[in-house]
Structure 1
């Protein structure tokens, strides 16, 4: 099997596991949360509080997971993660108490970090570092359909099954489909390592070693701030649009986010070859912040709300690509797993508190102030990405 066919098979297999991984472990939660709350005797806010804590702890675990990917191989971590996710889904489904449920949700989020984009990107870098940026774009294009597929699937299942039964179905998907695929991907890596043909290709970072720590710190802060802005908007998008007077149209407007996210990745795949990863990061931040500002300025004006959802989706789609390609571009492929683990930890840990913080701001100081403050944080991320982009240009010059 030649290299191009291996790459296409690898991306296709990872794409399927990303759809299932994000669909069962992340996107389904908002659909199933009301059933969880009723069954466990909790308020909906308490259920989402448990979820926020799990996101925070899962984010911190990304540092350790990243180091283990460099040590053991990303595909190995993904295979173990699929098995762990299956066990935790079963434990959630069988949870006899709130405490058991909370522990299972937290461990489920840890397993998510072992099977979602962080690990998938590292797998692509390990497979072929030179083509990894292009492969990451293809992978995010496929993975972008996770919400489009699993929101309706979860809704249909919820009308026929309890949330516990649905989690058992999801456990089977991770065990029967994702784990075998990850084991197969791991075997591809072992076969490639056994070939004596040529040395494993590596990518040298654009930033000199003495500047990398400072540069990656700036990048980490930028992704964390932008992640906060995006998480706050996604968590409250539909109810927020409804509260400003858009009524039933809020659901339709919110549904534009997913297609816009996929569209941006498709456009980048076809036309974005000339735009460097730092440029992609700046563009993603500008689009997300522009969307927030549009909603702030347009209030209940329907075209403004539509532009908000589309800009947010476009920016989010490009941001996912930048999360994988920018660290590779700046610091190279050596130690990629540990490096992205630190970035992911900062982004998820900060983003975990975004829904709660934004809700508190809306309740205490009003939606307009909350949107303005959120846009301000996003603007800081734009400035940070611009600093990184300029430093890269100065190195080239």
Structure 2
């Protein structure tokens, strides 16, 4: 296990890298999408299809990427992801034509899988074992503010430099994450973890072999898949939904940006006060927040307070579920094979999330923003049901050593 000084340094470095990498990849199209549509003269679906392709690539390489972290260590994998992210941004900035555009997005998709939370969580699982819960939560504090910071930053850069010039700045920011990822200890992979047995106070995984392992894997995958679908839909259309419900567009943008505040605020509370909460219980509570938030969104157009509740409470629930996505496998499965096993389980979430922006757009076009909110309520209820089933099946045997 790494020393406390090494872990503190690693948490700061990964926290800043997540802040940058999320901002210049996952939230890129939110900043530049409309400018790309105007400048390229392409249909909106064609422009946004690049991001859908990136999400499909993330899902397709998820299992392989997890094995890379297990076998080669997070340092090598995440540095490679930084370089690929810089290359993808350069490709988008300099490329001409649809083929070059989609190729660049495919590179960005691979880079996202090698740099974002799942790679960082797997790295921390190998470095800290079952003591990785707190570091996982800590690195998400800055990552949760990525949209709040990079949407206005991206708009400002696009207005002054054009979207292609802004992407050159993004490529430079991607290169700045290389030294941050070089802070990861060498060999923080399966070989190191296998040689370092669990501490005596660390509880064994709740799901061993046989039926328990299947149920744990299925329910964890269901929660992750549904949360990813809902998050992708909200990331693409929350502003449009609020505007469609009757809010003025500037007000809709301002309220939607509060989602990031809700995410990081809830994560900060968890870091400060949630050490003794078991990840299963925390996950069920976080999942309950999602349908409550979406139900508030039904009345967001009539009552401004409900719009604020919608954005803040949804952000809080999504922020906490991001933490439990990293920490639940520590108590359900063997942390020494964290990368490969969890990589296979989260792959469907990436694949389904690629469909979410299109599904939400179709629902809004056909039935309006209100129908999209009710779709969100339905998905959120399923998230809560799966989380509750996970808590019910394994919570009675749960012992947690914070």
3-state SS of paired residue (2:302): coil
Residues 173 and 299 of structure 1: CA distance in aligned 2, closer, same or farther (over 3 Å): closer
Find the aligned partners of 1:97 and 1:251 in 2 and give their Cα distance: 31
Aligned partner of 2:214 in structure 1 is 213
For residues 145-184 of structure 1, what are the structure 2 equivalents within 5 Å?
Answer: 145-175=145-175, 177-184=176-183
TM superposition shift of 1:67? 1.6
Q: Deviations over 1:84-119 (max 9, x none)?
A: 111222222211211111111112111111011111
Q: CA RMSD in A?
A: 2.3
Mark the runs of 5 or more structure 2 residues left unpaired by the alignment: none
Q: Deviations over 1:122-158 (max 9, x none)?
A: 1111111132001101111122222222222212211
Aligned partner of 1:245 in structure 2 is 246
Residues 242 and 22 of structure 1: CA distance in aligned 2, closer, same or farther (over 3 Å): same
Find the aligned partners of 1:234 and 1:148 in 2 and give their Cα distance: 12
Find the aligned partners of 1:388 and 1:67 in 2 and give their Cα distance: 26
1:266 to 256, 268, 273: 268
3-state SS of paired residue (2:275): helix
1:130 aligns with 2:107: no
Find the aligned partners of 1:9 and 1:201 in 2 and give their Cα distance: 22
Residues 394 and 131 of structure 1: CA distance in aligned 2, closer, same or farther (over 3 Å): closer
Find the aligned partners of 2:5 and 2:398 in 1 and give their Cα distance: 34
Residues 200 and 74 of structure 1: CA distance in aligned 2, closer, same or farther (over 3 Å): farther
Aligned partner of 1:379 in structure 2 is 381
Q: How many residues align?
A: 392
Residues 299 and 160 of structure 1: CA distance in aligned 2, closer, same or farther (over 3 Å): closer
Q: Deviations over 1:187-234 (max 9, x none)?
A: 3849x959xxx8354763122222212211121012211222232223
Aligned partner of 2:82 in structure 1 is 82
TM-score (norm 1): 0.92
Aligned partner of 1:63 in structure 2 is 63
Aligned partner of 2:397 in structure 1 is 395
Residues 370 and 389 of structure 1: CA distance in aligned 2, closer, same or farther (over 3 Å): same
Find the aligned partners of 1:342 and 1:189 in 2 and give their Cα distance: 20
1:199 aligns with 2:200: no
Find the aligned partners of 1:367 and 1:39 in 2 and give their Cα distance: 27
Aligned partner of 1:185 in structure 2 is 184
More helix by share: 1
